[in-house]
Structure 1
Amino acid sequence: MASKLAGERTAKVAAATRAYVTLLAGDDGESFKAVVRLAESLRMVGAEYPLAVAVLPRVPESHRDMLASQGCIVREVEPVYPRGNQCAMASRYVVNCSKLRVWEFVEYERMVYLDAGIHVLENIDELFELEKGHFYAAELDPPYFNSGMFVHEPNVVTATALLDALRVTPPASFLEQDLLSMFFKDQYKPIPLDHNLVQAMLLGHTEDLQLQKSVSLWGEKLPQFGCWLTAKAAVFAPQNLLAMATIAASSAAVGVIHNAANPAICFGFYTVFIAAIATITIKLRGM
């Protein structure tokens, strides 16, 4: 059974040896709402395992209480400061590097890390059944992978080694992603891009969209692509989130209905999706 550690606030959920995990770093409302949406999306797809939320010290008590009431397991962690953190991008580096703390959640045998901006559209519990002893993430340009979603096995030795490696790693645009790619180069195994697809892939590889389970949408303009609704999870930018989701649904429906063999089925799916967006909108306005 999972032990209750200091600084951890546990909602009324059954102890588990597996969990989804995300990071909440600040006191801004947008980041908090993103985590709430992630938790809600996991519930909507019937995820078997709870969502653990690693929170930095500046996260308000009210936000922690709200997450616990939503069934999340809230645990405070100390921020991780990278080498040379006096640079202009220091605050972003602290947020990104603090996700390394999820390796310290040793009461869990396996976890699936999800960036807070992810919205899960379909059950992804199968990720917990992957062969043990490896680090799994969606591939970018080999040997690099996308660190916005990964499957890991918490371990004190690994956690310490990662923090030690960070201390000698110079700042880079994607610091924690570069670090993880180097650190796990021998243990890494790719999972299909359909679990965590970046928006740019939609523009350059539209032929692969039939199998998408996860889509990263960055920026305010969305392309019209017909198979977006087959995604299992989507990463939305914090700006204009609801507008982006509605535009995405509309663009997707237009493309799907235009290209699909059975437009009636696609139109029905589109209608359900719009209803879900409307429900989320009402809930967020009430927060």
Structure 2
Amino acid sequence: MVQLSTPPSRTAVTIAMIQQCPSFAYVTLLTRPSYLAGLLVLHQSLRAVHSMYDLVVMIPPTLPQETRDVLRRCRITVREVEWLHPPAGKYTPHQRDAHYIDTWTKLRHVVLTTTCVLLWALTASGLFYQSIRTDGKIVLLDVDMLILRNMDELMDIDIPSDGIAATHVCACNPRRLDHYPIDWEPMNCAHSSVKSPHSPPPLIRKDSPRPYHQLNSGTVVLRPSYALAEGLQAILLSQDLSQWNFPDQDLLAAYFKDRWIPLPWYYNALRSLRNTHPVMWSDREIRCLHYIFPEKPWHNRDLPTDLLSQAGFAMMNRWWWERFDPLVKRLRKTDSKSYYTLVKTMQRSK
């Protein structure tokens, strides 16, 4: 059973904390320097589409100071969060999915006060606490994403206090990974029923294939609440985490079963969808491109051979570098310390 400590008291939130926290925000997580390049491009791409809302970056105490300094000099809003380690061996990802070890941290279990929310973030390495005010909504984003069109309309989605909005998981398993669920086949994938780029996602019925009930947590819209925090905690205490393939996604799918609203694919456009669902895909419709798989654009300008064989992957890789190159050029001219720190993190991440 996961060792969870009691959430901070609702009365512990100070006026100063409330005033410094945004009511609506995009929220992401940076746990290690090797993802700094991805974070900077995500931040820049949100600004490039003229989003009205800040990107708030959660960081753990272990993030090196030189990485923090880059965020500060780039004027990125940062909230440090503390963690509590769960028992060793409670969750161990498959060796091919070792990068999932940090995905627990994306779960901001939210504790509502009058106008401020204490966001909890759970990780296989620990349990985080952080405050961020929200009278409305937050949109959780993975750090390996690129914003191509303004999607502030997500803040206006009408979702109940006990629900969330997210995109369907793609259950096609194009890499044929044998440790993925046995029912992950194209015939069971919700995206297979989408007939065009503008078609709505399919409804989720009781008799729908199991993958229809699963979501991808790359983009999640929610209304933080104390009840939500307690409900998620109860699920964690009652579930066998060792049976979960994708920790954060499986938790959200379990808790919000029959209570989550499917979003159109383009708010979380998994780069593999271009090949697995070409009828649904349109480059022009993408709001948020998600660079799933362990191989990230910043690892290499040129894709490895196995990804080069995937139609469109090289082009999508170029899209990322087209945003990164001007950014790093500007840093080299105006902020040499940040430039050299960034270059160093990219060399280490290869």
Give a deviation string over 1:61-119, Cα, whole Å, max 9, x none: 33223323333221122336556635543975651112223532451131011111111
SS at match of 1:151: strand
Shift of 1:214: 3.0
1:117/1:238 contact within 8 Å kept: no
Correspondence for 1:17: 23
Distance (Å, rounded) in 2 between the aligned partners of 1:274 and 1:215: 13
2:271/2:292 contact within 8 Å kept: yes
Correspondence for 2:139: 112
Describe the shift of the 1:135–1:53 C-alpha distance in structure 2 as closer, same or farther (beyond 3 A). same
Q: State which of 170, 183, 202 in structure 1 corresponds to 2:255.
A: 183
Distance (Å, rounded) in 2 between the aligned partners of 1:85 and 1:4: 39
Superposed CA RMSD: 3.5
Q: Which residue identity is paired with 1:216? A: H
Describe the shift of the 1:167–1:5 C-alpha distance in structure 2 as closer, same or farther (beyond 3 A). farther
1:96 paired to 2:166: no
Distance (Å, rounded) in 1 between the aligned partners of 2:219 and 2:151: 12
Distance (Å, rounded) in 1 between the aligned partners of 2:65 and 2:321: 33
Correspondence for 1:228: none
* Correspondence list, 1:207-246, <5 A: 207-210=279-282, 211-218=285-292, 236-240=296-300, 242-243=301-302
Correspondence for 2:39: 35
Q: State which of 179, 195, 215 in structure 2 corresponds to 1:145.
A: 215
Q: State which of 105, 129, 154 in structure 2 corresponds to 1:127.
A: 154
SS at match of 2:299: coil
Describe the shift of the 1:68–1:55 C-alpha distance in structure 2 as closer, same or farther (beyond 3 A). same
2:138/2:222 contact within 8 Å kept: yes
Give a deviation string over 1:131-169, Cα, whole Å, max 9, x none: 031300011231001001110112233123313322332
Q: State which of 275, 296, 305 in structure 2 corresponds to 1:203.
A: 275
Q: Which residue identity is paired with 1:118? A: M
Give a deviation string over 1:198-229, Cα, whole Å, max 9, x none: 233221211212233333334599xxxxxxxx
Distance (Å, rounded) in 2 between the aligned partners of 1:273 and 1:99: 22
2:218/2:290 contact within 8 Å kept: no
Correspondence for 1:48: 52
1:112/1:149 contact within 8 Å kept: yes
Q: Which residue identity is paired with 2:150? A: N
Distance (Å, rounded) in 2 between the aligned partners of 1:249 and 1:173: 25
Q: Does 1 or 2 have the higher relative contact order (CA < 8 Å, sep 6+)?
A: 2
2:29/2:57 contact within 8 Å kept: yes
1:79/1:98 contact within 8 Å kept: no
With normalisation by structure 1, the TM-score equals 0.71
Describe the shift of the 1:203–1:5 C-alpha distance in structure 2 as closer, same or farther (beyond 3 A). same
Correspondence for 2:228: 158
Distance (Å, rounded) in 2 between the aligned partners of 1:217 and 1:155: 30
Moved more, 125-134 or 74-83: 74-83
SS at match of 1:147: strand
Distance (Å, rounded) in 1 between the aligned partners of 2:298 and 2:325: 18
Distance (Å, rounded) in 2 between the aligned partners of 1:279 and 1:114: 23
Distance (Å, rounded) in 2 between the aligned partners of 1:122 and 1:163: 35
Give a deviation string over 1:245-274, Cα, whole Å, max 9, x none: xx868647xxxxxxxxxxxxxxxxx9x998
How many residues end up aligned between the 2 structures? Answer: 244
1:149/1:196 contact within 8 Å kept: yes
SS at match of 1:154: coil
SS at match of 2:62: coil
With normalisation by structure 2, the TM-score equals 0.60
